[in-house]
Amino acid sequence: MSESPQKSGVGRLFRRGPWEIAATLFIAAGVLMLLQPFALVLYTYSFITTLIGVVMFVIVSKFPE
C-alpha cells in the first residue's frame, strides 16, 4: 500500500528532526540574547524568543521521528 503524495508530503512536513533543530536554535538564540552585553533591545526580546523555542520544542517532541 503506497501513501498518497499529499499524505506523504504532510508526513514529511511534520517530521521531528528539522523542527527540533529549529526549536533548539530559537532557545540558543534566546539564551545568547539574554546574556549578551551589546544591545538592550536584544535583551528585551530574549525572553519571548526563548519562550517560543521552549513551546515549540514541547510541541515538536510529539511529532513522529
Partner 1 sequence: MSKLNEIADRAAGATPPSLAGAVRGLSDKSIAWIFIAPTIILLLAINIFPLIWTIYLSLTNYRANRPNAELKFVGTEHYEKILTNPDIWAAMQSTAHFVVWTIVLQTVIGFTLAWLVDRKFRGHGFWTTVILLPMMLSPAVVGNFWKFLYQPQIGLFNYIISFFTGAEPSSFEMLGSVQLAPWAIVIVDTWMWTPYVMLICLAGLRSIPDYIYEAAEVDRASNWRQFWSITIPMCLPFIMLAVLFRGIENFKMFDMVNLLTGGGPGSTTEVASITLKREAFEKWRTGFSSAFAIILFVTVFGLANIYVKALNKVKSR
Q: Which three cell numbers stand for residue 42?
A: 536584544
Single residue of 6, 40, 62, 64 touching partner 1 by CB under 8 A: 40
- List of residues 6+ apart from 43 with CB closer than 8 A: 33, 34, 36
Is residue 20 a contact point for partner 1 (CB under 8 A)? yes
The binder of partner 1 chosen from 37, 62, 64, 65 (CB under 8 A):
37
Runs of H (alpha helix) within the chain: 5-13, 16-35, 40-44, 46-60
Residue 8 CB, nearest distance to partner 1 (Å)? 26
- Identify which of residues 14 and 47 has a Cβ nearer to partner 1 in the complex: 47
